[in-house]
Every structure is written in structure tokens, then in C-alpha cells.
Structure 1
Amino acid sequence: MNDHERLTPHTYEDYEIIDDLTTGAFGRVYVVRLKALPNKLWIMKRLRYLKDKDKQIADQEVEMLKLAGSKYTVKYVESFTFDVDLCIVMEYCEGGNLRELIKKMETQSVKQRKEQCYNIFYQVLMVLKHLHSLRIVHRDLKPENIFLDQDGNAKTGDFGLALMIQSRSEVNAAGTQNYQSPEAINFNQMTEASDIWALGVIVVEMITGVHPFQGRTQDETVQNIKNGRFKALPDYVKGELKEMLISMINSDPAKRPSAEELLDSDLMQLLAKIEKKEEKQHEVEQEKIKSEEELKKLNEQIKWMKLPDDLLKKLGEDLKKPLQGTEVQKEEALQLLENDCQFLLQALNERKDDDGRKRVILSGIIEGFINVFENYDLNLITRTFSSTFFYLTNNSSDEVKLLIYNKKPFLGLIRLLEHTDILVAGDSISSIFKIQLSGSNTTKESDPHPHFESIQ
């Protein structure tokens, strides 16, 4: 959605429902698309918006989405009311959620799992660093609430249970029990450290394929969490990574590292450098794509000879001016003229477009070339000037050539025959021949060519 579409408020009727993703207890979730933009998908979450309590909950989710906004979170797009609901439109993540990825990772090697895990670990930590700096606790961090874009980057979402701690030291517990920290289960309390615990569990689950506190039953899993009893990490989880994970799932929230402290680790610093390098590379690629698109647009413009009249007129005026000033100033002025002629040359080269050539002629450019060919020092007249003039006569109708003929360019073209560059002289000969040919096709045989004697 571009800036204009984002800034233009939409209504429910502007969207079309593509799929129903509703699974949770909080609202209904749909994949939608704008009817006016059918190739782009979005997520729409509909929350009850009837009672004051409903409105408070829905408005708070929108506020949290806006506050949490970063490149690592699901982007908020817009919200509006429909019937008794508040509709929240958000970014659609094509890669599904982390729960689906964990399932797929079961068949991968340890190395592959760890490589995928590192990036997601870093990206979710960046979200927590941002949230916790605002004293916001997510409260419902779990694989189902971490989404993946088309490139596999993690986007943390579902801020429906997120709360700002404000002046309190903790908030009431919420979320899915298997990802609730010991203090949430034991004391109904959560802090920023509770999010760290949940992320630690998620990362272990990604690498090993198993929830570290998993028991034979749900009750046993809850008891394991309460008592801080987790499965020993496998031997392939070692070094700094092992230390980080064990500290993150420590039963004592005071002993867990903060998101900022975890991001200062050697592993995360390395990942940060890799991401910055990839971002730089992405910027270069995007700039290249942008340049290619601009070039393509320019080529299309050239192809159809949609050269702005004001540009053609200015070039005609500049070509008619005498070269004045210091040698440096003359050189700069000449370079600008060559650049503009090169642009015109690309438009003319190998293309038959009489209407475009007529516009060039009417802009005064032929008179400008006549001035250059008759008055500039020969050594200053480069091939760009002579070939641009030639392509005005090439692939054009007799009508166009006659318009050039009537401008009487022959004295200047004949002068170019003395040029030391044989290519410039060759362009001159070719131009004279084509213009003469048009003259013979459109004038009486008895009428002499105005420069017949000079040409001979």
C-alpha cells in the first residue's frame, strides 16, 4: 500500500475477504485485499466495539500496534469501525507463523535449524528491546504470534494482550500457559523478564524441536515451569548460546538478562553486523532496481518520442548561443550541450517517428545545429553533434527532410567536410545526401539546388 493509499481512509466495503484465519478467542482474523488493489493481501482483525470495555480493549490494541511499530513487527496500516466491530488492517506475512516453521524444521539438520534460529532470535530480541524501552510487556509471546515475511524475517505480532507497566513494577499475567513464566503461573505477575523467559523457551524449541519444560501431560508441563525443571540442552547447544538460553529460562526473573544485555553478546553483535551488511546490499539492489525502472521509463519515453517541449526548446536556444567566457566556462557549456544532444540522439537512433522529429524541428534545434556547424571551432564540434543531426534526417519521411531542407543547413554541413574526424565528415556527407534526396523528390527538376555549386 503506497503512501497515498495509506493516507486515504478506507471503509469495510473497500475490502474483500479472501480467507478466514480465526483460531483464537480474541476477535476474528481474515486475509483481505483492497478491491482497488487486488494483487496485495492484508490481515484484517475484527474486535467487538460495542461496550465501553470492548472499546477500551480494541483501542488499546491499536495503540500498542502503533507504539510497537518497527521493521521487526507486523505493521499497522489503518483501523475503522464497521457495524459493532473495530476493524484493524495490518501487514500480511506470507511466510506463515513460527509454529508452522518449527514443524518444518523437524526434518532439517541441526546446522540448518540453528542458522534459521539465530536470525529469528535476533529479530525478536530487537522487538523486545524496543517494547521494554517503552515499559511495554508483550505478555503473549509464543510461536503462533511470531510471523514470517516472504524472505523468512521474523515479524512479532498480536499485541492484544500487551500492557504498559507505567508506574507499577509488574502487570497481571496473561497469554498461553505453556509460554507463561514461573512468576506468571505462581504469582499472576509479569514483567519485561517474563517476555525474555518466553523467548528463551521459543528459541530452545526451535533448535531442539521440543519445549524445554514439556511433560507427559499439560499439568506436568505447568508443574515443570513452576519448579524451573527443564530438560538438559543437547550437546550441540553449547558455548555462549547455551549460557544465554539457560539464563533466559531461569526461574528467578531477577537473574534473567535484559534484551539489551542479550543483544550485547558476541553472537548477537555478529548477527547485527551481518544484518547491517545485508541491509546495505539490499539498499544497493533496490537502488539498482530503481535506476533500472527509471531507465526503462526513460527508454519508453524516448521510444515514443515523448520529449518535453520545454526541454527541446531550451536545447534549441542553447545551441544558438555563442560560446563565451573563459576556456573552463566554454568547456562546461559544451559538455552540457553534448549531454542534451546525447539524450536527443537516443530518442532518434534507429527510430522512425515523424511526429517526434517535427517537434524537434519546430523547437528551433535545426537552427541551433546550423549555428554550431557554421560558427564553432571545428575541433569543438564532436561526433555527438553531427550524428544527432544525421539521425534527424535518417528514418524520416520526405516531408520531415524537406522541413530541414528549408532551414538551409548546407553551409554548415559543407564546413564539416573539413573536420579532422572522418566520422564527423561522414555524418555530414550522409546528412547532405538525405536532404538532397528529399529536395529532388519534392522540387521541380528545373529548380537548381541552392548550394549546388558549393557541394560540387
Structure 2
Amino acid sequence: MTEASDIWALGVIVVEMFTGVYPFEGRTLDESVANIINGRFKPLPDYIQGELQEMIISMISVLQVIDGFISIFENRELESITRTYSSAFSLIVDTASQEDKPYIFHKRPYPGLIRLFEHSKYLIINEAINSIFLLIKAGSTSTPDTDRHPHYETIQESDGINKIFALFQKNEINEYFAMFQKNESKYSKDRAALCLSFLFRMREITDSVMRMKIINHIKSLLNDSDDYVKEKAQNGLKYLILNSDEVKLLIYSKNPYPGLIRLLEHTNSKIVSDAIISIILLLQAGSSTTKESDTHPHFESFLACDGLKKIFALFQKNVSKYSRDRSAFCIGFLFKAQEITDPVMRQEIINHLKSLLYVNRCEILNETELIKIEQDLKLPTKGIKEYHKNILQKQETDLLLLSSVIVGREDNELRKRIISSGIVESLLLIFTKRDLNSITRTYSQTFFHITNNLNDEVKLLIYNKNPYPGLIRLLEHTNSKIVSDAIISIILLLQAGSSTTKESDTHPHFESFLACDGLKKIFALFQKNVSKYSRDRSALCIVYLFKAREITDPLMRNEIANHIKSLQNDADTWLKERAKTALKYIDQST
């Protein structure tokens, strides 16, 4: 047993004490096991509410079981690990939803599963490699084909690439094993090859022996009698070809464009799609193997078969979004380091490529995803340590996704959707209520990214959510970067309040700022002088607040005025510009 499995067992006992019923009971043993794996249990009585309910639910979560299995695989003497464990874990991974598999990955299962390769029982080895492949496959499907596999580095930490290849070779050379246990040997060999083909997506297999053997084996699986293996081999081969510019250039040397361009006229839209993606993969190889300042090496051969004209015709024909998008990509690649001289083509292609940047962001952060993030931020973090850790990890993952999509981009509409989803209010509630030490920079930085690069109208939507109490509280955080995120978020909101009112009007946020003792705390931060960054912005905040008002505290007035004057000669242009505005407010109030 492990600590995690002990907690799970205790949770089950507690439920039985309250209800007299086993929580995962099914009509058969298999159904009971399936209930455990899928986290399906009988509802708790209505009188179990609040923190007690949260604690019990977290105790009997399947995540506790997963932790227990991983600990066993990593620490227990190998031969004492029976197939019951490896089979149950494989079943958990197999039946987990696409959304849940990343949480299993974050439990770091690979070291323990890779260790099972040394087991004497081939069925346990089979289940270990199958679990690994299912997780790797989930990592592939949750990220674009053009991205490197997100699990590669984690696998490497356990020397996983070499050990998976060793497993592949072990089953290749052990003729005796293969003779008497052919199906079992083939099972682990096939999945080892599939694991490596998926892991090396958008990476070159530098080991020439590994590359040759894996490619040849994956090719052989295209004719496999098992449809599942055959389908996954197609994906694996695609990933291996995607990462090899050398292979693509060999194909280019065979003059592929005339034939591929001709297929664009086919009546079957799927054949057209196959042709256009083949063209773009070859063009990508031509781009990536030449300097950025060089024109595309395929340009002349493309024009020779009237390819540019036909690709643009396909773009305008708009047979499908798939072929239209990729036609635009093709033209973009072709005109590397040269201008599109046709004004109609230039305008239409540029506008379409720009639109894809916005559409892709909306697809990543669709309404369902925004609702999920907002709900995750509301999850209670009280309870046992492991449950608390899981919730924080889930929230941080959500916020990192959110930040990666919006950071550095001016997209008012997307931010309006984020604000209306309730995410901003949930963040502010965290800033106001949660223990400061458990608030990491991911939270404060995400709030800044939402507030930054916004027009004043949308910033005022944030102001309507009463942001100052939470942001002011963050100024007491021990992490200076979180303090910096809070103070810059405050100044961005104050700027919006200033610029949307007349110069002769007092600042519209003044009263709400005083209501949470904000003025006193901002000045305390200024005097504390944690960093130049926060001191400069604290001074600016105070001056913005006292727009068309006199600073009645003589000490504050003198210190802030002197500091703002010193910023006129600052090396930071952004600061200098705002210092000029601030000095104007000071002059008006005196």
C-alpha cells in the first residue's frame, strides 16, 4: 500500500460508515471496477455538505488510485508487482477521457512504467508499453501536428527513448521468444515503434540505426491485419516524414508539382485536400532548408507548371476551409523574401492569413473552454494536501493556456469574452480571499495579460468588476514580481479612468480606491521601495488618482512630486511619457 491508496481506502470506509453502502458497488465485479476507474460513485447523503463533502470526494477520487499505482511501479520490488496492477492501470489510462489523460501525465507515470520493462512477465511489459503509448497518443492529439511532442523531454528524463528502443530491439532479436510467444512479442514491438514515431514528431531521429529500423517497421505495419495498429502506423509514418526535410527534398527532386497541381482540379474534395497538404509540406521543406533572406528555391519550378495561378484559383474557389487555408499558406511560403506583385492576390492572401490568427485564438479559447477555466478557478482548494495540489495545478494549467493565447496581442473582442465568462471575477476573488502564499505568479501575470493591450472601453469593463481590493491586497505579497504585476494592472485601470474623463474632472475611481485603503497602501509601497519598477508606478498611481485634486498630505505631496519630476529624464520612454502627463495633473492641482 501507499499513502495515496491508504487515503483512498480510508475514504471508502468513511462513506460506508455514513451510508452503509459500498460507494462504487455495481451489478457485477467488472462494473464495480469500471466505477472505480471512471470515478462513478453513489451520491452522498444531503446532510454531508461543505468541507466534509469536498474532503470525502477528494479522498475517493481515482487520482488517489493513480498515485498509488505509480508509487508501486517506481518503488516496489519488481517481481512482487503482479499483472493486477499493470492491467488495472492500463485500463484506467485506456478509459480516461481525452481531457483526463493530461492529468495522468502530470502525475509523472513514465519512470515507473518504463521500469516495468525489466519485469520477467511479458504481459506486464505489454501493459506498461501500452499505457505509455496511450499517454503519448493523447499528447499528440491535444497539440497541433506542427508542434514537437509535449512529452518528449519528460520521457528523456528517464532515458525513455533508449529504453523503448531497447524493448523494440529485444523483441526483434530474441528469436526464441518470438517463436513461442509471437503475438506477445509483436504486441510490445509494434507499440514501442509507435511510441518512438509519435515522440519524434517534428524532430529528427539522429541515431541512424534507430531511424532506419523504426521507419521500416512502421512502414510494415501499414499492411497489418489489426486495423487499430494500421491506423496508428499511418499517423506514426506521417510524423516521421513531417520531421525529415531530407525525405521531402528527395521527393522534390522527382519533380512532384506538375502531378500534384493537376490533382487540384479533381472533383473529389478529399483528393484535392491530400494534394494541397502534400504541396505545403514540400514548400515548408524548401523554406526551412534555405536562409530567411533567400527566395523560395521551388518558386521557378512551381511557376513552370502554372502552379501559382492554380493555387490562387483554388483559394478563390473556396472548396473547403481546409484547402482554402492551405492554399493561402502555400502562396505565403512561395513568396518568401519577395513581394506578391498581383495587388488582388496580395490583399486577399494577407487578409486571410491575418484572419486565421484571430480564428485560431477563438478556436483555442472557445466558449466551452472559457466556462471550464472559470469553473476550475472556483474549485475549493481546502482539504487534503494532494487534492489542494491537484486543484492548483489544474488552475495554473488553465491560466497558462489563457496567457499563451492573449499575451502581446491586441484583441479586444477576445478579452471581452474572457471578462464576460466570469474569469476576471474568479481571479479577483482569489486575490481577495486566498492565502497569499498560495497565489503564484501565474495568477497575477494572467490578470495583467488580460488588462494589457486593451482599449479604455474594455478596461472599464474590468473596473466594473471591483478589481482594486484584490489587486491592493497583492501588494503585500512577498514575491516582488507578483507585486509588480499588481501595480502595473492598477495603473492601466487608473489610466483608463483618467483618459475617459475631462481633464478638469476628478478621477472617477478615487472613492472606490479609498474604500479599500488603497491610497495608504500604494504610498506605503512607494516608501518601501521594493524595486524601481514598483516605486515608479506607485508614484504614477497616486498622481493619476489626484487628478484635479490636491494631495493634502504634505509629506506625500512633496515625495511624489519630486519623484515624478525625476522620471522626466528616465531611460524608459514609457515612463517618461506618463511622467509628463502626471506632472500636468500635479500642476493643475496646485
What's the TM-score once normalised by structure 1's chain length? 0.36
Larger Rg: 1
Choose between structure 1 and 2 for higher RCO, CA contacts under 8 A separated by at least 6 residues. Answer: 1
Pick the structure with more strand per residue. Answer: 1
What's the TM-score once normalised by structure 2's chain length? 0.28
Pick the structure with more helix per residue. Answer: 2
